[in-house]
Amino acid sequence: MRCARRVRIRGAASGGGEAVQVEIVEVAPRDGLQNERTPVSTADKVELVRRTAAAGIRRVEVTSFVHPGRVPQMADAEEVVAALPRGAGTSVIGLALNERGLERAIAAGVDEVNAVLVASEEFSRRNQGVGMVEGAAVVARMAARAAAAGLRFSATIGAAFGCPFEGEVAVADVVRLAEGAAAAGVDEIALADTIGVAVPTDVRERVRAVRSAVGEVPLRCHFHNTRNTGLANAFTAVEEGVAALDASLGGIGGCPFAPAATGNIPTEDLVYLLDRAGVRTGVSLDALVEAVPWLDRVLGARTPGLLARAGGFPAPVIVGA
């Protein structure tokens, strides 16, 4: 067992020691849109990816290779990937829930594949169509196939903080899935609070437990703001040394298979928080703020993020106004 990789954010902000940085993975085109009833055009999905990449985000989960009957909004997965401008330094991630989805993702030409393990039996059956043990075996086979195809491969542990059907999820179950994923050679392990029940003490406990179990495998966290704890959880994850955080422009999103699941943490709110805390993301807050009214128009509704409405701080001074 090795020491947890915790970081001291205040020290970094005041210029002492190595600057803390965290990678932001934009998930609005996939997790954000998958619950939207209004169909979003392929062109608008491509524009959403383009805008977030232009803001400096280096990894974007662009779609899900899931059966279109299950998630109609993702029916154009191949078309979205084919239409993306490539070679601009942004890694294109496709979500795949099974080996069929993985083959589609490989054929479509994604850079990375994100697969899902679920830390509760009932939710695993509803989301993945298989139980936890079989789900772990499927992900291990997918990891080998992705490696053979030369793709980066992440395993996301869904319901890692609580299950909509079974309630509390044991830390030991999360750790067991993480150990299996690490043994399968995945490039990254993510802990996902799919239904937005976590609080910072849960994040600290589970990130430390998984870190102790998987050693140097990079960790990512995925939070939903269902109970308004998402940003506090994200900040705690950064303090605990996670390498990456998922976020969704405007805070859109939700899981079609989890009752009452609401949006991901808003990317622009997260970047504001991290900027002010001296944590580097490489992402332009201004570019994100400009993209939010565009996204509101596409969806025909005001997205839940707050920063784009309030503006950054300090605000730019407009001379003569």
Q: Kindly list the residues in this chain that would bind Zn ion in the complex (CB under 5 A).
A: 31
Non-local (6+) Cβ contacts of 67 within 8 A are none
Q: Is 163 a catalytic residue?
A: no
The residue from 3, 163, 221, 255 that is catalytic is 255
Minimum separation from the CB atom of position 252 to Zn ion (A): 11
- Distance between CA 321 and CA 319 in Å, rounded? 6
Note the helical H segments in the chain. 9-13, 42-54, 77-83, 99-108, 121-128, 132-148, 171-183, 200-214, 230-239, 267-276, 285-299, 307-310
* Cβ closest to Zn ion, residue 31 vs residue 112: 31
Minimum separation from the CB atom of position 315 to Zn ion (A): 32
Minimum separation from the CB atom of position 80 to Zn ion (A): 18
Report which of 151, 153, 155, 149 is spatially closest to residue 136, judged by C-alpha positions: 155
Non-local (6+) Cβ contacts of 271 within 8 A are 24, 247, 281, 283, 285, 288
- Distance between CA 102 and CA 98 in Å, rounded? 6
Minimum separation from the CB atom of position 223 to Zn ion (A): 8
Report which of 242, 187, 190 is spatially closest to residue 9, judged by C-alpha positions: 242
Minimum separation from the CB atom of position 258 to Zn ion (A): 9
3-class secondary-structure state, position 123 = helix
Name residue, tokens 């509101």. 296
- DSSP code at position 284: -
Non-local (6+) Cβ contacts of 148 within 8 A are none
Minimum separation from the CB atom of position 10 to Zn ion (A): 30
The token pair at 27 is 């998930």
Q: Is 321 exposed, middle or buried (0-12, 13-18, 19+ CB in 10 A)?
A: exposed
Tell me which residues are annotated as active site. Answer: 255
